[in-house]
A and B are shown apart, each in its own frame.
Chain A
């Protein structure tokens, strides 16, 4: 029993949970309003897109890939739904489903190229980020509405999905996030498919020698990530009430930050959904708490960036024996001198 507790404490997810707790306590002290459940849970509305997308970008990173196009897919989906509903008279729910399809196809396109040729994921998704944001502009031009205005006036039912709260406290978005976390957890850690994803990430060649369809597996992770971006696009459109082409433009960095902070290695083979989920909450709450304490919104990325670097550096240094012994040696010498 004692050994199990010890194992638990040294896990990275535990550290993340502690950080989250610390944040809540500190911000609560600084501004008591922060601790009101309505406020605390309500904060997720600001950053739910990051949370949702990073869950599935985790899949991509575990196979050793990289995805920096998710932000663009958010905008593409948003404007597509807007144009379909506004200019083509498509039912809003059908438009949402088509939006998900668009996300899947976008992910599939890049994923296909990455899986079936030897291109580098970073570069293809870089191209993808240009392409899909460009396509968003093209789609927007199909509409009579000017691009900068965005499309609004959506049906109440659509807008309501992000406005409601359970007991007046917990927003629907939070539930969506929790539900998706469970789904992602199940998919990645409890299914045969998830196991194949890990194996492809740990050693692609060996996975092929085991008869695993590594290409299909890799391509599918990009489809999942694309669909999650589409879903985030739908949620954002509903929450803001407007469909715009540049929704999600600034999301790429925070998403990757959340995934990596959560313990996923960009080399592949390692990562957990719990870690990503906690990390995205840590980042989101950090930003929200700071802004509630009066910090200018534009400064918020500084602590996030610092947190990212410090946490990864600590992990990296502690696993680097040579550096550890070097530090110990230096420390011992200066200690002995006194």
Chain B
């Protein structure tokens, strides 16, 4: 048995220890390394303006990744986030183009996102449809509905005010207001998940669903809320996308789900559930968004974008799995070795 830790280690040391072992550390190290290497090859990359540009360009990935991370932490998946993003982008863009105030368009988009999330959540939690199937189906349906809504046409000529929302900077820095807000949201969600009782339910459900039920944790409600939040955040991402890009096509957001899932994995969120943070997802989003830009700076064409992303994903995930397996086996062996050998064969009558 282990010696009880009666707070002998100072709180600072404990926090430090926790940070060192955090999965997110690997992601941060990777990010820093990547930037450093590119910076060595091409020093222009490390300019402040370029670095802030990298941050700003990852804003849509980040907000969507936060939402999907919530779902993944509860042990499920959502491959309809790209479609939700596209639908939200289409709706908000159409509304502002036709004269609605921005806040109204934003609210409408959020509502739609919440609705899609609710449908996903009901299918998975209550009807017990496996999440990959439910969200796959919803993805197909929403994708088709986007065509119905936009009549297959592009949504262009968006008002100037709407487009500048994504440009306005935080005073004194080059970081956009929206990116800053998204980071604030990430921190709030992170604190919610890690510090509040309700928040811990998410990881609990993903870690051991049976155990969570036994403790009276509302598994279905938790999963449902994860999907609704994911829908809402994807919708926010859609509005931001429309504002940044300036126009929306019927295939906007196609393939986003894969990119943000990759972002989460790169950020230390495990697909098995129960592990990972939205901070990690944000870091992963930064990595994903930076890859194509990085390639430009080191002189590779963007054709290599996918290859690099794929290799990275595979390397990180395999490395992580192998390390975990190693640790589990070592821990088990240590336990077993400790068990043997304390035999007093003298005998007690």
Contact = CB atoms under 8 A, between A and B. Distances in A.
A313 B325 contact: no
Given A305-B136, A308-B133, A313 B306 contact: no
Interface string B227-262: 000000000000000000000001000000010011
Nearest to B316: A127
B147 A309 contact: no
A300 interface: yes
B309 A309 contact: no
Nearest to A316: B128
Interface in B53-84: 77
B318 A302 contact: no
Given A256-B136, A309-B137, A317-B128, A127 B321 contact: no
Interface in A288-307: 296, 298-302, 304-306
B192 interface: no
B130 A312 contact: yes
A301 B133 contact: no
Interface in B297-349: 301, 303-314, 317-318, 320-322, 324-325
Interface string B103-138: 000000000000000000001001111101110111
B307 A123 contact: no
A137 interface: yes
Contacts of A317: 127-128
B136 A308 contact: yes
A306 B324 CA distance: 39
Contacts of A316: 127-129
By DSSP majority rule, is chain A's interface helix, strand, loop, or mixed? helix
B141 interface: yes
B318 A131 contact: no
Interface string B88-104: 00000000000000000
Contact of A131 (B129, B132, B134, B307): B307
A113 interface: yes
A113 B140 contact: no
Interface in A124-143: 124, 126-135, 137-138, 140-141
B127 A134 contact: no
Interface residues of B, number: 49
A120 interface: yes
Report which residue of A128, A302, A323 has the largest number of chain B beta carbons within 10 angstroms of its beta carbon.
A302
Contacts of B36: none
Nearest to B265: A123
Given A123-B317, A134-B305, A296-B147, A306 B141 contact: yes
A260 interface: yes
A266 B130 contact: yes
Interface of B: 77, 123, 126-130, 132-134, 136-141, 143-145, 147-148, 152, 250, 258, 261-262, 265, 271-272, 301, 303-314, 317-318, 320-322, 324-325
23 contacts: A66-B132, A113-B314, A117-B325, A118-B324, A123-B317, A127-B310, A130-B262, A134-B308, A138-B303, A260-B133, A296-B147, A296-B152, A298-B144, A299-B147, A301-B140, A301-B143, A302-B140, A305-B136, A312-B130, A312-B134, A313-B129, A316-B127, A320-B128
Interface of A: 66, 113, 117-120, 122-124, 126-135, 137-138, 140-141, 147, 253, 256-257, 260, 266-267, 296, 298-302, 304-306, 308-309, 312-313, 316-317, 320, 323
Given A122-B77, A298-B152, A299-B148, 11 more contacts: A118-B324, A124-B318, A126-B262, A130-B309, A130-B310, A131-B309, A137-B304, A253-B136, A257-B137, A308-B136, A309-B133
